Structure 1
Amino acid sequence: SAREANNNASFFSVRLGNGDGTFQPETLLRTSLDADSIAVGDLNQDGNQDVALTTFGQSDSIWMEFGKGDGTFLPLPPSFEAGKVGAALAVSGNFDDDNHLDVLLMNRFGNKDFRVLAFLPGSGTGTFGAPVEFNAHTDFSTPRDMAVADFNGDETLDAAVIGDFYLGTSPPSPLGVFTNDGHGVFTPLAPQPFFDNQPQSVVAARIDADADTDLVVGQNLSIRVLLNNGDATFTAGPETTFTSVSPHALAAADLNMDGKTDVVVGYNRFTDTLVLVLLGKGDGTFETPIELSVPRGDVKLAIADFTGDGPLDILVTSAQFPSVTATVLRGTGDGNFETLVTLPNVAQSAERLVVGDVDGDNRPDVAIVARESDGIAILLGRGDLDGLNTGDFARQPLYLTSGLRPQTVTLGDFDGDGDLDVASTHEGFDGNLLSTELSTLENRRIP
């Protein structure tokens, strides 16, 4: 057979040979971007010929199409209906107490009239049931971010959503809390107005000395701590203000190993992108921020021990289309950090990122939503010859999603085989209406 890459088109073609120097009509298969070069070989060791492609303008990225041995290729992952509006965030968890991982979506256009949450029950075999959608309380519009945790102490996962004030009203903007009855049914509590300055990001963590899970919210020129009363209602705690910082990304963990939760803030200005490390005092207040410079761009954050030396490190992605740079800031265990690795061109865009061990080597890996490339970029954590982590990453092929322009990503063992799979959402169409679909990339180990 002959295969040809098609420049300036989002597909590649397969022409099966007739054995006499002629070929059958071409079959077109979608790719994410304009094909630039192509290679053929048995990439997954199943005896069938597969295809690897690189793309114009993205020379550091490839993706693969796995052959079935008959001139056709394995289909893209199946999609599942996930709601009527675009999902901005996906979180996996056992929301209905059946020991199967489910997915909870936050819809970016939700308000009191349009569903804010969509719950997709998992079957444990890699498939999902029909979405169950939930409205917010009145006076809530345009969700920005969501945190999932047990906020009322009943050992079920609830959701806290930050968003803008409802159209036609005025600030403050509300916090919307949805309590879970343990069966995947979410009930909105009355919105709690806390924010005057455009909340953008939220993270759940234990900030003070009690056992309740609190919230840290990033808003224009400040972060605010919301202390949990133990019943999924919150009291406004201390606010940490900045002179020229609008937090675009938040993460929380114990970075200096003192038993208190610290907060990392990522933000971009017109001239630079910075990361602030705020060491917690255990009462909702923080020490003077430690400022770290990273490559300029739209910033996303993750915290894990990427170097394997004990202290937690920070992964930062900086996106300036058509390139994303990943930076690993190595933690020293006392709250200080140093730039260890800078990886250019890990993707074309980075809408969201999640961390987990996808290849089973006990090193944290990274999955990035590459929206402009219609796929998921995977970075595998590397080790050295002695088995120690290096803090570096090995780039993997771009994994094409079932639909165009994926929006968000989460990890979990959705098919029950012990390996972490990838679930992502993408745009779909229900008749003539914009909808959301969820698809999974099932993790398969090559013998």
Structure 2
Amino acid sequence: MKKKLTLLVFGVLALYTTHAQFVIFDVSRFNTNVNQPESIVHLDVEKDGDADFVVAFSKDKRVVLYRKNNAENKYSVVPMYSALDGAADLTKGDFNNDGFEDIIASGTFSGNHRIVFLENNKTGGFRQFEEVVKSTSNAFIGLEAVDLDQDEDLDFISVEFSTVSSPGDLIFWQNDGNASFTQNVLSSNSVDARQTITLDYDKDGDLDIVSAEGLGKKLALYTNNGSQTFTKKTLIADLNICNSMATHDFNNDQKPDFLVSEYVGDMVKLYVSNASNTYDLVVINAAVDAPGDVEIIDFQNDGRMDILIASYFENAIKMYTNAGNDAQGLPQFNNNGFYPLTNAISLTVGDFNQDNKQDYAAVGLGYTGFVTFHNETVIVSVDDLSYNDWDVNLYPSLVSHKLTIQTQSDRAIDQITIFNLSGQTIYHQQVADITTTIDCSTFTPGSYFARVTDMAGKTKTIRFVKVD
């Protein structure tokens, strides 16, 4: 069952000379009645231009495809696998070089740890699974699809839950080009790793690996020596159970910076590289309760990367927009609110509807489905706030009680949304008429913006002032 919410404004109104920017998301919840979704990825399973979603449900042991139905905001449920105990992690990619994206999934149920390959059948679904490995020791997690040996066949990496006294393995699963994988242990000293990021850290042409070690309390760098041998060193120490990470060059020094979540430390931090080849700390949130996934994403399409946090015990997705760098060159962020999602844990980011805006989707262990957030951020003129010649009249412009909005007879109003100067939605109304009257008597005095949408989805935004 799908539940669609009205436009959701997370952000602030950013004033840049003559323009204002609204960070707006169209939010849809899809209740699938399957228990404990733990991981989500997006892909275009049919290559039809629509974003589809694959979700791993740990309690119900399922991996399920939700295939988008053309332009409608509806999904067909396509079962992929229904016996993956503790289904917990997913990665995607074209592992058999046929031009279609496949799925690799892991299950973390005690005593029955497995990795399975699910091949795209090119007709909107997946073929029967193929088991990559089964183990009774540590659980495989942190799946990352990457061509580590750079032979043009997509491989993947896994790490393992483990203890300090009995470390786990960092494993390179080498693809022969036909989705047959050979296990190569790169390190047997990976202390409770949770996630990896592969990048050319030292810029020598080989791919290196950064691993987030939970109980190891650090980011570990595995430098590629060539021929798939690696040297491990501590990159960032003194982390309190790092659960997730993401990377981007925030200060444009051609070196990676690292965003990390501390699940036990209840913090999200950004480590920004400096000229001394160390890291300066920017605290994004010092009191986020059990952060899960973190993602770096350009919500505002302004070239400055913003931040998403899944907060498990706060039951929320939190968003922080980039406010630019300070005098020391360190990025600063504005807390732009949250969206409620029970036991939020996993995020996936991408342009889902091909409008050149970054969208995202999320799951939480306490919600039996998934949530999509389609980016409808707009930039409007502060002067007349108009992008088209649609004749919309708003009066009076200085309003104390009743505000009337009227349009021409051939273009009826579908809906009206009113924002305050903090970018918050304070009023929303479905209209389906050429005129409507809004009671503004309870509005706080000040400036507001009315976003008027016609039946064809075209919009015009008009400024007005509430007076006593």
Fold shared by both chains (TM-score > 0.5)? yes
- Are 1:295 and 1:318, in contact at CA under 8 Å, matched by a contact in 2? no
Evaluate the alpha carbon distance shift between residue 234 and residue 96 of structure 1 in structure 2; reply closer, same or farther with a 3 A threshold.
same
Of 368, 379, 401, the residue aligned with 1:374 is 368
Question: Which residue of structure 2 lines up, in the alignment, with residue 153 of structure 1?
Answer: 150
Distance in 1 of aligned mates of 2:309 and 2:422: 13
- Are 1:149 and 1:213, in contact at CA under 8 Å, matched by a contact in 2? no
Of 222, 230, 246, the residue aligned with 2:218 is 222
Of 235, 246, 253, the residue aligned with 1:251 is 246
- Are 1:206 and 1:261, in contact at CA under 8 Å, matched by a contact in 2? no
Alignment of 1:403-414 (within 5 A): none
**1:302 maps onto 2:295 in alignment:** yes
Give 3-state SS (helix, strand or coil) of 1:179's partner: strand
Evaluate the alpha carbon distance shift between residue 383 and residue 393 of structure 1 in structure 2; reply closer, same or farther with a 3 A threshold.
farther
Evaluate the alpha carbon distance shift between residue 142 and residue 393 of structure 1 in structure 2; reply closer, same or farther with a 3 A threshold.
farther
Distance in 1 of aligned mates of 2:295 and 2:169: 26
Question: Shift in Å at residue 32 of structure 1?
Answer: 4.2
Of 282, 302, 305, the residue aligned with 1:312 is 305
Evaluate the alpha carbon distance shift between residue 142 and residue 240 of structure 1 in structure 2; reply closer, same or farther with a 3 A threshold.
same
Question: Which residue of structure 1 lines up, in the alignment, with residue 344 of structure 2?
Answer: 350
Distance in 1 of aligned mates of 2:81 and 2:336: 39
Question: Which residue of structure 2 lines up, in the alignment, with residue 15 of structure 1?
Answer: none
Distance in 2 of aligned mates of 1:391 and 1:330: 16
Distance in 1 of aligned mates of 2:136 and 2:256: 32
- Are 1:274 and 1:294, in contact at CA under 8 Å, matched by a contact in 2? yes
CA deviation digits over 1:195-237, x for unaligned, max 9?
Answer: 3x43233222222122222221122321111112344432213
Aligned length: 314
Instruction: Name the TM-score, length of structure 2 as normaliser.
Output: 0.60
Distance in 1 of aligned mates of 2:242 and 2:323: 21
- Matched AA of 1:238: T
Question: Which residue of structure 1 lines up, in the alignment, with residue 229 of structure 2?
Answer: 233
- Matched AA of 1:296: V
Distance in 1 of aligned mates of 2:193 and 2:75: 41
Question: Which residue of structure 2 lines up, in the alignment, with residue 38 of structure 1?
Answer: none
Evaluate the alpha carbon distance shift between residue 392 and residue 275 of structure 1 in structure 2; reply closer, same or farther with a 3 A threshold.
farther
**1:360 maps onto 2:358 in alignment:** no
Question: Shift in Å at residue 31 of structure 1?
Answer: 6.7
- Are 1:266 and 1:276, in contact at CA under 8 Å, matched by a contact in 2? yes
Q: Which has the higher strand share?
A: 2
Question: Which residue of structure 2 lines up, in the alignment, with residue 328 of structure 1?
Answer: 320
Question: Which residue of structure 1 lines up, in the alignment, with residue 451 of structure 2?
Answer: none
Question: Which residue of structure 1 lines up, in the alignment, with residue 442 of structure 2?
Answer: none
Of 159, 162, 181, the residue aligned with 1:162 is 159
Question: Shift in Å at residue 88 of structure 1?
Answer: 1.4
Give 3-state SS (helix, strand or coil) of 1:260's partner: coil
In terms of Rg, which structure is larger?
A: 2
- Matched AA of 2:322: R
Distance in 2 of aligned mates of 1:391 and 1:282: 37
CA deviation digits over 1:242-285, x for unaligned, max 9?
Answer: 1x622111111222222222111111446xx32221224699x5
Question: Which residue of structure 1 lines up, in the alignment, with residue 402 of structure 2?
Answer: none
**1:286 maps onto 2:317 in alignment:** no
- Matched AA of 1:189: N
**Which structure 2 residue ranges, 5 or more long, are not aligned?**
1-30, 35-73, 382-386, 388-420, 426-456, 458-468
Instruction: Name the TM-score, length of structure 1 as normaliser.
Output: 0.62
Distance in 1 of aligned mates of 2:114 and 2:133: 5
- Across the aligned residues of Structure 1 and Structure 2, the Cα RMSD in angstroms comes to 3.5
Question: Shift in Å at residue 368 of structure 1?
Answer: 0.4
- Are 1:149 and 1:204, in contact at CA under 8 Å, matched by a contact in 2? yes
Question: Which residue of structure 2 lines up, in the alignment, with residue 418 of structure 1?
Answer: none
- Matched AA of 1:176: I
Question: Which residue of structure 2 lines up, in the alignment, with residue 135 of structure 1?
Answer: 133
Question: Which residue of structure 2 lines up, in the alignment, with residue 209 of structure 1?
Answer: 203
- Matched AA of 2:124: G
**1:192 maps onto 2:184 in alignment:** no
Distance in 1 of aligned mates of 2:424 and 2:178: 39
Evaluate the alpha carbon distance shift between residue 186 and residue 239 of structure 1 in structure 2; reply closer, same or farther with a 3 A threshold.
same
Distance in 1 of aligned mates of 2:262 and 2:194: 11
CA deviation digits over 1:104-150, x for unaligned, max 9?
Answer: 11222488xx56321111123321011111126x8951123222211
- Are 1:225 and 1:237, in contact at CA under 8 Å, matched by a contact in 2? yes
